[in-house]
């Protein structure tokens, strides 16, 4: 993890070669301020500049230990809905059930 956050060379390669958004603010600033950097897929737009500007609005005070599992379980269950495997109500019920199994202390609808 340390490499993917603190190694500016590795982070720069991920941005330049893999279209990743870095966890390194110095690397993000370098690419955000580079007028020659852009995504061919996005018609030349610089996604790092857009994402970097949005990171100033992230509020961590409401971050919880449940966030990652909640996000992953929601995506997994909605994917089944979008693929037509289950209806919307079943997808949501499956999501709530998965959360209750992992975190019985949470109150779900």
Domain boundaries, given as residue ranges, for the chain: 2-55, 67-102
Q: What percent of the chain is predicted at pLDDT more than 70?
A: 100
CA distances to 7, 8, 55, 79 from 26, rounded to whole Å, are: 10, 8, 13, 35
Q: How far is the C-alpha of 35 from the C-alpha of 29, rounded, in Å?
A: 12
pLDDT, tens only, 16-68: 999 999 989 999 999 999 999 999 899 999 999 999 999 888 888 888 999 99
pTM assigned to the model: 0.59
The residue ranking higher by pLDDT, 103 or 1, is: 103
Are 51 and 21 in contact by the 8 Å Cβ rule? The answer is yes
pLDDT of residue 1: 84
């Amino acid at each position: 993890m340390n490499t993917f956050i603190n190694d500016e060379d590795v982070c720069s390669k991920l941005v330049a070669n893999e279209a990743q958004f870095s966890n390194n603010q110095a690397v993000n600033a370098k690419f955000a301020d580079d007028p020659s950097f852009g995504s061919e897929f996005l018609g030349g737009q610089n996604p790092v500049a857009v994402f970097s500007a949005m990171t100033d609005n992230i509020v961590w005070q409401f971050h919880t230990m449940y966030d990652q599992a909640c996000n992953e379980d929601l995506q997994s269950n909605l994917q089944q809905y979008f693929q037509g495997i289950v209806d919307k109500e079943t997808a949501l019920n499956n999501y709530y059930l998965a959360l209750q199994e992992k975190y019985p202390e949470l109150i779900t609808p």
